[in-house]
Structure 1
Amino acid sequence: MNVCFALQTGVNSSPEIFSITPSELSFYGKNNAVLTGRNLGHVIGVRLQGDLDCSVKEASVRLNTGASLTFHIPAGDKGRVEVCLLLRDGGFHGNASLTYLSAPVCASIAPDSTWASGKRKMNISGSNLEFAEEVTHSHTNQKVTFSKTDDGASLQFESLATDRDPFSSSVTLRVANHTLACPTAIRYLPDPQFSAFYATPAPDHLLLTIILKRAEELQMAAVDLQVRGVQGGEDLDCDIRKIDHSKGTDFITCVIQSSSDAEITAVKITYGVKTVLLEPSRSFTVHFLLRLITVILVGFTVGGCIYYYRQRITAQKNMSTRDLEMDVRTDIRQGCANRQTPRMLRAKERKMLRRQQEARLAWFQ
């Protein structure tokens, strides 16, 4: 039986329903739903019945302006339900529908850490998150400002501040009168510390490098920061190009589009609700120059050692080559001498024999 056509009493001006917001909701229901229509002044309640429901759910009107009603939609089973308006005389009029869907799911939070002063942009991923009505932190009753995407796949909010760190705060979503826990707790860590900066000029821009300490676990990204360089009394936006993460220290690199030769006198860094004014540090400059000089000296020393070593190797190679050539020449001479000695001996023997024969012949004559 359709509840909206069960009974209609005679009234001069019958109520009509134009819209119900939201028209889709989770099966947990919805607090402070709004119904708009015409001739609503005599309406005292809202009735709902599903296609397969034997019983009728009824919600009382919390606020009636004659043109709109505010009421709580009760929990129900997934599916479509019919809605009609209950009058003081017991009759009901109008005809509209609502659709119950699945409840929100909080799957993860990223990033999963924030600084103690709060206001870090964070993102909840999941499904049906458009039905979430509140986001709460376990360490405070303060309301969290948040926004949703149309597809219900994500929800963005800003972390709340705390006066203690480090610690963890759990996050929950509230849907009607139900609380849903997120599996990821937010870690609260000390605020980051910006220690120094130095500027590198280029023909049409300035390259700024900012040193950030105590930020290893925060894993800060470009979206977390706004950087401006002070040049000639004017604040110039510095476009963050990259953040190099290393143990205990991060290096932020950004570019200021400026052709001026004026010096950068300070850097303003904004994160969350805080703005840090970073001025040039003489000790850092001296330390950087000393390190630069040290690197240059080490480079010259290493280069000299390599040059000397190469020269020595070359000299040894040349000496070895000369010694080898002398040894070869000596061997050649010795070999030649060894080959020529028997010939000389045989020639001398033949000469001696000829002389002896000539002497004998002379004696006989």
Structure 2
Amino acid sequence: MRTVYLGMLLLFQRAVSSLTEFSVNGEIRNFAVGNGKVFVVTDSQLLQMRLDLVEEKHKDIQNHRHQNRVNILLPFDANKTLITCGTSDCGYCELLDINDISRSVYREDVPVGSSVKKSSVSFLVDFDEGTEKYMLVAREKVPDECVSDKGVSLHNTLESQAGGIFAKSGIEPIEARISPQSDAEWIDGFQSSSPSHSYLLVNVKSRTGPAVVVLRMKNSRSKIEMTKSLEGAVLQCCDDKEHKKLLSSSVVLSSGSLLLWAGIFTAQESNDPQKTALAIYDLSQIRDRVPSYFSCTPTCRAQKGEDVLRPRAVVLKHSSMSSVAAEKKGSWIELYIGTATGQLMKIVLDKALNSGCVTVLYKSDDDRMVFPRMHFDPVDHKYIYIALRNQIRRVAVTQCGMYSTLRDCRASQDPSCGWCLNTSKCLTKDECSASPWISIPEDYFQKELISFQVTELSTEVTLNLSLNVAGQFPLTCTFMDEHVNLCNSSSGVFPSCSCRFSSQHLPVNVTATVTIGDQKITERLKLRSCPDVTETSPYAKCVACVSAGCHWSSSSNQCSWAHGSASQVAVMDKCEGLYSESNAPEIFSLEPNHVSFHGKKHAVLKGRNLELVEKIRFHGVMECTSKETPVLERSTDTLKFSIPSGNKGTVRVCVVTADGRCHSNTKITYGARPTCTGLQPRNTWASGKRKITVLGNNLEFVDAIIVHQYDKPITLNSNKTFWFHTHDQREYMGSGPFTVSLLVGNSTVDCVDKLSYLPDPEFTSFSTSKLDNDVLANIQKTEDKLNMSKEEMRVWGLQGKEQFECVIDTVMSTALICRTVGAKDSEISVDSFKIMFGNSIKFLELIQHGIKYTCAPVAVTIVILLGVHAGIFISGVVSRRMTQISGRFESSN
């Protein structure tokens, strides 16, 4: 038994030894990453975790008298402590053991933390070699009953410093501080390494309007000298539309006198698809000016003045960016971007700050916003930590394994990913040891993996083909015309190869194959004599020219032989603006245009000239690849197709004809996936067709409902509420409970509740009484767990061939009461009742010796199997009686 127990314990330890996510109780308010720990703060707890998100310790932080919010969380690794400051009473600061946060090292009442709903920024400042540091705190004004000043202050972090721990003043007689003259929302702060400065980013509101300001101080052992050195500038973003609020920021590069910084700015328009902008600035360009929004104590050295900094590059515009983190890798800059819809994206910049494509590293099922601050794993930066409401996640910064071929690996435009020849996998460079590693060229982006050109020399033509990759490895090339080698002579030296052949072969279709290890990259080229490209329209002529590897002159609209070693230009880039045809396909509308990221099975596109369309193309903003889906049904003005899965956000949709051109465009927005939080009711009667209401979010994205894994889909109906009708129990061969799932594109989402089948309700007898001209009926039923409502049933009173609706007043567990209303001057009477629910109709009638009870499915003839040994006389009586009932039923329908 002991051996079994130890084995189970070992399995459990392995299962939790490394996590990619951790959910907390409550909402995450702040988190920080030290050298070996992750610290997370909620409204009620402080948690200590390993870097792999396994919890080690937790500490309750609520005060029994006052609400407490920990808003300063600083790992002081050199001192082996964690600095926390909160809002309890008028504020406090505390030192905790960084390896055991349940152990308090020191605590003091200090009015440092801002109030619960106010902003604050804090970070540690090195002003000398060694472990001594200041804690810089910038905060909005705390409640009036607490004696404290808003603005920026510097605090000791050690008892050995002059004035003692957490003191603002020391050997200097005057307290140093920076005060905002307008409302200030503190967003971020950091220390640069060379030269040593401290920076603060703040949104200000003044009489002249909102502005984003950057402040800079020169780090110094003297707090007074540090605050007196204040200078700053207003950050302007962006040229086409003003974005006057900062959401998140990150240092990109601090080297020598250069300081690149990235910020996410937002505009005021809530529905703008480009509401947020990610821009890069050089903060080393701050001049000797102090923005008029701030003042220093003692007085600032720099003069007051509104210096303005403009971005060096606007990298990306998007509807909902919320956070950014950056790091430099070689000549590349990698930016990680969180969104308000719960996505983590990655984009790479070259040394000229040109951007590559966007890769989505993670997307949440719902629309939880990514916390404005993100942190890299301090060990090797292979992971980044993000927070989403009540969840902390660790996400790999490179996900090379998602690419299965050399072409796809190269198309990712991720300089951290390359093709490993020995393993035939897309890997990072350190994972591909002692093997050639093929990656994108250094320092710049080249969209196409292969480019080619044709040049003429006398009677021969030379086809030059280049592989746009970085690395050194052997390659071989073949050039085939049909199944015959095209080349009179060929040569190949990495990264290029060439083929020379007679110009008399032109035009010719060439299959060029580049072989690298076990990877074969094939390009089909349609080569022509460049001066002989004479298509009718300028666009067609340009496309044919560039596609054949020739040189296109946009000034003269002429095609000629290529010259020099210039790389091939993409057709769309070179020929854009030349295309115009009156009979081109055109999109008028697309429904639905808002779907889950799982896609949608049924979509309809309307327009004109659509009979030539072969497929629909979907391309996200700056995404690496596009997706295409075939047309399922067509006419001249309507196309039916399925929308593929995608990443959250807006994508461009166009229609593609046989020549590869993409015409017209519209947009689709991908949102969160649907959720099913419950069913009302959670059971149904055996004969089916009970209305089940589905509870949840984003249900408009659902294609159908699946009950039980082998069931055919059921259509989901919507009229502000979402519901479906159940099938007959016989289709499932059981009573359940059965899993209920939402069909969304090609994916399914399980409901929290399951569906059970119960026997049909049994109605046993009835009694009637007169009330004026009406008949009041009390219909008895067997007690069940169906909890039927009066909206689920209809009742008619029958008399001869006439029927009168009996309006249901009350439904109880063992009876229902209804009223059959007579005419004003005439009475009605009934001798039987017809009760309809779902797919079933049941009859109750008075006979000579009691109640007779029958059941008939809707529109189905009732068949009664008679016993062989029953007498002919009895059989005849029953048959005549059933004929009467059937006649009543038919007259009622």
Asked whether the two chains share a fold, i.e. TM above 0.5, the reply is yes
Amino acid at match of 1:257: V
Which of 635, 641, 649 aligns to 1:65? It is: 635
Cα drift, residue 30 of structure 1: 1.5
Aligned partners of 1:106 and 1:234: how far apart in 2? 45
Cα drift, residue 261 of structure 1: 4.6
Aligned partners of 1:31 and 1:25: how far apart in 2? 10
Amino acid at match of 2:821: Q
Tell me the residue number matched to 2:842: 276
Aligned partners of 1:131 and 1:270: how far apart in 2? 33
Tell me the residue number matched to 1:257: 821
The secondary structure found in structure 2 opposite 1:268 is strand
1:139 to 1:120, Cα distance in 2 relative to 1, 3 A: farther
> What do the CA deviations read for 1:103-133 (whole angstroms, capped 9, x no partner)?
1111111111111111111111111111111
Q: Whose relative contact order is higher, 1 or 2, with alpha carbons under 8 Å and at least 6 apart?
A: 1
Which of 810, 814, 823 aligns to 1:242? It is: 810
Tell me the residue number matched to 1:231: 799
Amino acid at match of 2:722: L
Aligned partners of 1:61 and 1:284: how far apart in 2? 65
Cα drift, residue 281 of structure 1: 6.1
Tell me the residue number matched to 2:686: 116
Tell me the residue number matched to 1:305: none
Question: Mean alpha-carbon deviation: is it higher for 8-17 or for 88-97?
Answer: 8-17
Cα drift, residue 43 of structure 1: 2.1
Matched, 1:178 2:744: no
Tell me the residue number matched to 1:156: 723
> What do the CA deviations read for 1:267-323 (whole angstroms, capped 9, x no partner)?
1111111111101266669xxxxxxxxxxxxxxxxxxxxxxxxxxxxxxxxxxxxxx
Aligned partners of 1:176 and 1:261: how far apart in 2? 58
Amino acid at match of 2:819: V
1:30 to 1:139, Cα distance in 2 relative to 1, 3 A: closer
Count residues with an aligned counterpart: 277
Matched, 1:125 2:695: yes
Aligned partners of 2:771 and 2:759: how far apart in 1? 35
Cα drift, residue 18 of structure 1: 0.7
Tell me the residue number matched to 1:81: 651
> What do the CA deviations read for 1:64-100 (whole angstroms, capped 9, x no partner)?
3232222222211111111222222222221211111
Amino acid at match of 2:767: Y
Matched, 1:28 2:28: no
CA contact (8 A) 1:266 1:280 kept: yes
1:31 to 1:240, Cα distance in 2 relative to 1, 3 A: same
Which of 753, 775, 795 aligns to 1:206? It is: 775
Tell me the residue number matched to 2:385: none
CA contact (8 A) 2:703 2:715 kept: no
* Structure with the bigger percentage of strand: 2
> Please, what TM-score do these two structures have when normalized by structure 2?
0.29
In the TM superposition, 1:139-150 aligns within 5 A as 141-150=711-720
CA contact (8 A) 1:130 1:149 kept: no
CA contact (8 A) 2:775 2:829 kept: no
The secondary structure found in structure 1 opposite 2:646 is coil
1:26 to 1:145, Cα distance in 2 relative to 1, 3 A: closer
5+ long unaligned stretches in structure 1: 286-365
Aligned partners of 2:670 and 2:682: how far apart in 1? 32
Structure showing greater Rg: 1
The secondary structure found in structure 1 opposite 2:673 is coil
Amino acid at match of 1:271: F
> What do the CA deviations read for 1:150-207 (whole angstroms, capped 9, x no partner)?
5xxx311111002355432221110110011111111101111110000011113211
Aligned partners of 2:734 and 2:747: how far apart in 1? 30
Which of 43, 49, 60 aligns to 2:613? It is: 43
Aligned partners of 1:262 and 1:149: how far apart in 2? 38
Amino acid at match of 1:114: T
CA contact (8 A) 1:28 1:178 kept: yes
CA contact (8 A) 1:232 1:263 kept: no
In the TM superposition, 1:182-193 aligns within 5 A as 182-193=751-762
Cα drift, residue 244 of structure 1: 2.1
Q: What is the aligned-residue RMSD (CA, Å)?
A: 2.6
* Structure with the bigger percentage of helix: 1
